[in-house]
């Protein structure tokens, strides 16, 4: 095939090749029947298929054909269930095959830098390991159906404000350890056939023109073999983008892109070989997909709806359950408050918006599950009308209904405009009317449960007054059915937060520098994103990363490691036991974090390095095993341009959440990489003291000097002297140690 592609390209004219490197129409590539090159259709993603027939747009304004709407990534991520996410990807791939779509634009592996980002609902997590694992499985699922996933938005696309032009200024280590790591794992393990370059700039260079990003890192370092597609209308300098490694410009450019490529080749600033290599990458994927095309297939809508329910069940997070207010009894009087109970929010706004096959309504599902209960509804607040008087009336009516009930369930959450492509939120607050409603209801009803629908974290000023809180995120078309099951205990909640919920906005890591000034945003919090920040600063969040309750309980025990000392080239096996000590079957997400002890590099207090979700019946106990490789202990060393482990002790922490660590073991890892240091006269005594040749000489010089009064102050003399430059040794020894001897010492140290 490869040989034929090359031959085919050699027959194509420059004009034809330049045309193929841009879209043929809004959602399609250009076909060349005379060469047997088919037109291909690209469609959003990521949590379902948004195939538009007529009047295309990339902002989600016009209707698309019906498809299954799965929970958005923010919720899906809380399942921490790789297999489930793969199943969802597979279902989306199957729908794409059915509908004649060849590329699904997603998943999104951008990190949740701030809970304010309007598109957080489309992203998985604040943690790169979790995000990359889930994205990889999503990709594998889609591609198992012969459809290409387009991993997006590569990279550092973490805000919507000024999204087309913003320059994300990020230091190299943060870039590697946080923002790129999320894509790296997804590319290496998921092997997407296409990657979408983001709109923004990174350190001054647009992603779509960023050679380092698209060629050096993506292709050369990570081994990406597919082609890079632009985000819609992202490209302005088509020739430069091509040179950088951007293969397909989408959607159409009315011939502008094509002319730029042709002119640059004619002028000699771009080589035709570069264009040929890019066309080859595009064709390789197109032909692969064509070979995998299945005609005349259909998918089972009912099964996909059931899968959407299964995904929603695992995506919802039980945040509070005081006095076991949940599960609800199916008898008695239940008050249901809030318009989201009748008109649910189940997805975000923008290009990912889906026209669902079948939408379940929470109020109906609740009634269906509890036919013997006396269920009353009251609106409580208006989403459309913010008139205080109107709402005061609605609130007092809801209070009255709540007062007469045994338990009240309030549906609260963010209106659609808050979780939206193209816009960031200004704060983390729910609309104030909802907070007032919850306050007022809690005054008359002790058993109040809040069900939240939102794409990202919200503040909960009423948290101490309510008995129960369910975070349902944006749960897709079957969210209502899943929620009713969880409320009444037909199913056991098993989701855990994939992001931290802060108590208030000003505690968030990027608070001071989000969304930046003019067209620049500096990532000054560096590595300390999400729980890495809250841990290091010592702030108690509202709900920590990895947290979520169940209707049963789990006991952790017996941590075992297969070695206490290892080289960074070896793997470490860790196992623990987890037992269901409650009365119901449940699923537990076991999380493994690694902490470096006494590190000389600045590191987070701990980082997620492995996780597993296990299902356990009452009294059942299972062993959970993890394998950790070098990367689990490494940081990105900017001078080495590589991941590096510093020899030393590491703690293996296993627990129920980032703030509930139950088991712990300490091991040592030794680096096999010898760091070459360059010593100069400006190096310090501490720098050389580990070198045997220096040790003896330096100790001798120091001990022959007068003892300073630091000893009597109880200060460690070595550490005070450690900061002194080597150049001072001649003076300290009063000339006994000559400059020539010192120069020779430095020379010999540098030889080693
Ligand atoms: C979005 C992408 C989307 C594309 C096509 C852009 O505005 O950023 O995520 O895939 O439109 O709809």
What is residue 728's DSSP assignment? G
Which residues in the chain are classed under CATH 3.40.50.1700? 302-537
Q: pLDDT tens digits for 388-410? A: 888 899 999 999 999 999 999 99
Question: Which ligand 1 atom is at minimum distance from the Cα of 106?
Answer: 10
What whole-number distance in Å separates Cα of residue 81 and Cα of residue 141? 13
In the reported structure, the alpha carbon of residue 162 is separated from the centroid of ligand 1 by a whole-number distance in angstroms of 15
What whole-number distance in Å separates Cα of residue 331 and Cα of residue 350? 41
Pocket test for ligand 1, best of 105, 153, 159, 165 (most atoms within 8 A of CB): 105
What whole-number distance in Å separates Cα of residue 106 and Cα of residue 300? 22
Write the residue with the smallest CA distance to atom 12 of ligand 1.
Answer: 58
Range with the lowest mean pLDDT among 80-89, 94-103, 689-698? 689-698
Please give the pLDDT value at position 721: 78
CA quadruple 55, 108, 225, 17: dihedral, nearest 10: 20
What whole-number distance in Å separates Cα of residue 472 and Cα of residue 493? 11
Average pLDDT over residues 433-446: 97
Class in CATH terms, 5-291: alpha beta
Q: pLDDT tens digits for 273-312? A: 999 999 999 999 999 999 999 999 999 999 999 999 999 9
Q: pLDDT tens digits for 115-155? A: 999 999 999 999 999 999 999 999 999 999 999 999 999 99
Q: pLDDT tens digits for 668-694? A: 999 999 877 889 999 998 888 888 888
Question: Angle between the 181-190 and 128-143 helix axes, to the nearest 10 degrees?
Answer: 30
Q: Is 110 in the pocket of ligand 1 (CB under 6 A)?
A: no
| CATH no. of 554-670 | 2.60.40.10
Please give the pLDDT value at position 571: 98
Question: Which ligand 1 atom is at minimum distance from the Cα of 198?
Answer: 8
User: Do residues 209 and 173 make contact, with C-beta atoms less than 8 angstroms apart?
Assistant: no
Range with the lowest mean pLDDT among 82-96, 638-652, 717-731? 717-731
Instruction: Give percent above pLDDT 70 in the chain.
Output: 96
Write the residue with the smallest CA distance to atom 3 of ligand 1.
Answer: 351
In the reported structure, the alpha carbon of residue 61 is separated from the centroid of ligand 1 by a whole-number distance in angstroms of 12
Write the residue with the smallest CA distance to atom 11 of ligand 1.
Answer: 58
Q: Is 248 in the pocket of ligand 1 (CB under 6 A)?
A: no
User: Choosing from 231, 481, 485, 687, which is the catalytic residue?
Assistant: 231
Pocket test for ligand 1, best of 49, 52, 58 (most atoms within 8 A of CB): 58
Which residues in the chain are classed under CATH 2.60.40.10? 554-670
User: What average pLDDT is seen over the chain?
Assistant: 95
Please give the pLDDT value at position 700: 80
Spatial neighbors of 267 by CB under 8 A, at least 6 apart, are: none
Whether residue 420 is predicted with pLDDT greater than 60 in this model: the reply is yes
Range with the lowest mean pLDDT among 460-469, 505-514, 696-705? 696-705
In the reported structure, the alpha carbon of residue 28 is separated from the centroid of ligand 1 by a whole-number distance in angstroms of 14
pLDDT band at 707; cut points 50, 70, 90:
low
Q: What is the SS3 assignment for 558?
A: strand
In CATH terms, the superfamily for domain 302-537 is Glycoside hydrolase family 3 C-terminal domain (3.40.50.1700)
Pocket test for ligand 1, best of 96, 351, 424 (most atoms within 8 A of CB): 351
pLDDT band at 532; cut points 50, 70, 90:
very high
Please give the pLDDT value at position 61: 67
Instruction: Establish whether 231 is a catalytic residue.
Output: yes
The tally of CA atoms less than 13 A away on the side-chain side of residue 593 is: 25
Please give the pLDDT value at position 40: 97
Question: Which ligand 1 atom is at minimum distance from the Cα of 57?
Answer: 12
Closest CA to 126 of 678, 631, 533, 668: 533
pLDDT band at 712; cut points 50, 70, 90:
low
Whether residue 718 is predicted with pLDDT greater than 70 in this model: the reply is no
In the reported structure, the alpha carbon of residue 232 is separated from the centroid of ligand 1 by a whole-number distance in angstroms of 6
Instruction: Give percent above pLDDT 90 in the chain.
Output: 88
In the reported structure, the alpha carbon of residue 520 is separated from the centroid of ligand 1 by a whole-number distance in angstroms of 22
Please give the pLDDT value at position 677: 83
User: Do residues 376 and 366 make contact, with C-beta atoms less than 8 angstroms apart?
Assistant: no
Q: Is 105 in the pocket of ligand 1 (CB under 6 A)?
A: yes
User: Do residues 206 and 231 make contact, with C-beta atoms less than 8 angstroms apart?
Assistant: no
Q: Is 613 in the pocket of ligand 1 (CB under 6 A)?
A: no
Range with the lowest mean pLDDT among 514-518, 531-535, 705-709, 746-750? 705-709
In the reported structure, the alpha carbon of residue 70 is separated from the centroid of ligand 1 by a whole-number distance in angstroms of 18
Whether residue 14 is predicted with pLDDT greater than 80 in this model: the reply is yes
Whether residue 178 is predicted with pLDDT greater than 70 in this model: the reply is yes
Please give the pLDDT value at position 19: 97
Q: Measured over all CA atoms, what is the biggest interatomic distance in the chain, rounded to whole angstroms? A: 97
Range with the lowest mean pLDDT among 182-191, 251-260, 471-480? 251-260
pLDDT band at 385; cut points 50, 70, 90:
confident
What whole-number distance in Å separates Cα of residue 199 and Cα of residue 12? 30
In the reported structure, the alpha carbon of residue 351 is separated from the centroid of ligand 1 by a whole-number distance in angstroms of 6
Pocket test for ligand 1, best of 232, 248, 252 (most atoms within 8 A of CB): 232
Q: Is 219 in the pocket of ligand 1 (CB under 6 A)?
A: no
Whether residue 2 is predicted with pLDDT greater than 90 in this model: the reply is no
Please give the pLDDT value at position 717: 64
Please give the pLDDT value at position 706: 58
In the reported structure, the alpha carbon of residue 317 is separated from the centroid of ligand 1 by a whole-number distance in angstroms of 28
Whether residue 20 is predicted with pLDDT greater than 80 in this model: the reply is yes
Whether residue 262 is predicted with pLDDT greater than 90 in this model: the reply is yes
Q: Is 58 in the pocket of ligand 1 (CB under 6 A)?
A: yes
Whether residue 355 is predicted with pLDDT greater than 80 in this model: the reply is yes
Q: Is 351 in the pocket of ligand 1 (CB under 6 A)?
A: yes
Closest CA to 425 of 435, 414, 411, 433: 414
Q: Is 122 in the pocket of ligand 1 (CB under 6 A)?
A: no
Q: Is 160 in the pocket of ligand 1 (CB under 6 A)?
A: no
Please give the pLDDT value at position 714: 58
Q: Is 305 in the pocket of ligand 1 (CB under 6 A)?
A: no
Closest CA to 305 of 107, 70, 123, 528: 70
């Amino acid at each position: 095939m490869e040989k034929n592609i090359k031959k085919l390209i050699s027959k194509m004219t420059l004009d034809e090749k330049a045309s193929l490197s841009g879209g043929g129409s809004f959602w399609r590539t250009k076909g060349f029947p005379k060469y047997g090159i088919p037109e291909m259709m690209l469609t959003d993603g990521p949590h379902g298929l948004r195939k538009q027939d007529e009047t295309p747009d990339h902002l989600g304004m016009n209707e698309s054909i019906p498809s299954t709407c799965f929970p958005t990534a923010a919720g899906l991520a809380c399942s921490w269930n790789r297999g489930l996410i793969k199943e969802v990807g597979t279902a989306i791939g199957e729908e794409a095959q059915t509908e004649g779509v060849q590329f699904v634009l997603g998943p999104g592996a951008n990190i949740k830098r701030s809970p304010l980002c309007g598109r957080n609902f489309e992203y998985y997590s604040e943690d790169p390991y979790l995000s990359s694992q889930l994205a990889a499985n999503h990709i594998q699922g889609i591609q198992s159906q012969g459809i290409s996933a387009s991993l997006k938005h590569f990279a550092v696309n973490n805000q919507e404000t000024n999204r087309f032009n913003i320059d994300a200024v990020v230091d190299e280590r943060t870039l590697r350890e946080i923002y790129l790591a999320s894509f790296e794992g997804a590319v290496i393990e998921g092997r997407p056939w296409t990657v979408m370059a983001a709109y923004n700039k990174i350190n001054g260079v647009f992603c779509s023109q960023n050679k380092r990003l698209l060629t050096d890192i993506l292709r050369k370092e990570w081994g990406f073999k597919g082609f890079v597609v632009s985000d819609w209308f992202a490209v302005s300098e088509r020739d430069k983008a091509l040179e950088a490694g951007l293969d397909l410009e989408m959607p159409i450019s009315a011939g502008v892109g094509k002319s730029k490529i042709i002119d640059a080749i004619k002028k000699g600033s771009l080589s035709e070989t570069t264009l040929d290599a890019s066309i080859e990458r595009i064709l390789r994927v197109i032909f692969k997909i064509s070979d995998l095309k299945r005609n005349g297939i259909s998918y089972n809508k009912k099964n996909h709806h059931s899968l959407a329910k299964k995904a929603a069940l695992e995506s919802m997070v039980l945040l509070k359950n005081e006095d076991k207010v949940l599960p609800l009894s199916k008898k008695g009087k239940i008050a249901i408050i809030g318009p989201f109970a009748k008109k649910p929010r189940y997805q975000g706004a923008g290009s990912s918006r889906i026209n669902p096959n079948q939408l379940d309504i929470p109020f109906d599902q609740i009634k269906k599950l509890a036919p013997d209960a006396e269920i009353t509804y009251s609106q409580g607040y208006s989403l459309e009308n913010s008139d205080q008087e109107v709402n005061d009336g609605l609130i007092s009516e809801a209070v009255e209904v709540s007062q007469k009930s045994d338990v009240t369930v309030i549906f609260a959450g963010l209106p659609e405009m808050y979780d939206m492509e193209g816009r960031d939120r200004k704060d983390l607050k729910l609309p104030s009317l909802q907070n007032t409603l919850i306050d007022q209801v809690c005054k008359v009803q002790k058993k109040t449960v809040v069900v939240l629908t939102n794409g990202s974290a919200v503040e909960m000023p009423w948290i101490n007054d309510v008995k129960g809180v369910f975070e349902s995120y944006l749960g897709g078309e079957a969210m209502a059915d899943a929620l009713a099951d969880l409320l009444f205990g037909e199913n056991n909640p098993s989701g855990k937060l994939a992001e931290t919920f802060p108590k208030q906005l000003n505690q968030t890591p990027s608070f001071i520098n989000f969304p930046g000034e003019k067209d620049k945003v500096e990532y000054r919090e560096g590595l300390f994103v999400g729980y890495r920040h809250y841990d290091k600063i010592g702030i108690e969040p509202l709900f920590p990363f990895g947290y979520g309750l169940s209707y049963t309980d789990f006991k952790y025990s017996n941590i075992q490691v297969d070695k206490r000392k290892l080289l960074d080239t070896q793997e470490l096996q860790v196992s623990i036991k987890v037992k269901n000590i409650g009365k119901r079957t449940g699923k537990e997400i076991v999380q493994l974090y690694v902490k470096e002890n006494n590190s000389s590099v600045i590191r987070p207090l701990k980082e997620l390095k492995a996780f597993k979700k296990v299902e356990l019946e009452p009294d059942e106990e299972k062993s959970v095993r993890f394998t950790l490789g070098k990367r689990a202990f490494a940081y990105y060393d900017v001078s080495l341009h590589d991941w590096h482990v510093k020899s030393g002790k590491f703690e293996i922490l296993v627990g129920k959440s980032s703030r509930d660590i139950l088991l712990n073991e300490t091991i040592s890892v030794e680096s096999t990489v010898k760091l070459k240091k360059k010593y100069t006269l400006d190096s310090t005594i501490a720098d050389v003291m580990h070198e045997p040749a220096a040790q003896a000489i330096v100790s001798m010089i120091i001990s022959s000097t007068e003892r300073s009064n630091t000893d009597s102050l109880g200060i460690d003399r070595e550490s005070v002297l450690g900061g002194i430059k080597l150049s001072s040794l001649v003076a300290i020894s009063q000339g006994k140690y000559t400059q020539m001897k010192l120069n020779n010492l430095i020379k010999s140290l540098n030889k080693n």
